[in-house]
Amino acid sequence: MSTKIYITLNVTESGPLKGKYHWALALPRPEFNYRTDKPLDLYQSVFSDETDSWVADHRVGPEALSVANIPEFMFLVQLPSINVSFDDVSKFLQLEEPTQGSTPLCQERDEWSCAQWVIRTLQSIMRNGWFTATPRGSLDDRDAYYHYICRTKGLTCEVALSAGSNNPQFVGQVVNKVRIMDRQ
């Protein structure tokens, strides 16, 4: 049994072509045959103005969202499958602490962020030995991975699309109307 997992990148309020994105983790649901164009369970850490802190804001089960309903959705970055059941991965992701705790910040960041939560969570999955292959982009180095996703994938894709490129090396592939980078 294996579970597919993706990073979602969404353009933030700072606007396009800035290299800044909201990151979340997404699991395609088994009852939809793991299709990415159907509702995805989303796992994310977001800053709450109400509590003035980072909180978990997961959209799972009946609250799962299709990419058409994810605000400012740009694309998915496919990661290697995980050799753990969907339910076990979902439980693990829901238990991940949304706050920084003792996690060092990425060099390019001066405060905690959704991206750093995703990286820390993926590093935990990697330490558990759950990935079926090594993820692309030096996940063991949080700074290199942050750069890989934001610049090598995100900004490169945005710039290429704005220039009218369809080169899959820069803009990924569109599968069932969903743009996917790093298809495995």
Task: Please report, for the chain, the start and end positions of each structural domain, with discontinuous segments joined by +.
Answer: 6-181
How far apart (Å, rounded) are the C-alpha atoms in residues 118 and 29? 19
Residue 140 has what pLDDT? 92
Q: How many residues does the chain have?
A: 184
Instruction: Quickly state the pLDDT bin for 14 (edges 50, 70, 90).
Output: low
> pLDDT above 90 covers what percent of the chain?
80
CA distance 8 to 42: 9
Q: Is 32 helix (H, G, I), strand (E, B) or coil?
A: helix
Residue 57, phi then psi, degrees to nearest 5: -135, 70
pLDDT tens readout for residues 75-100: 999 999 999 999 999 999 999 999 99
Is the pTM higher than 0.75? The answer reads: yes
- pLDDT value for 17: 63
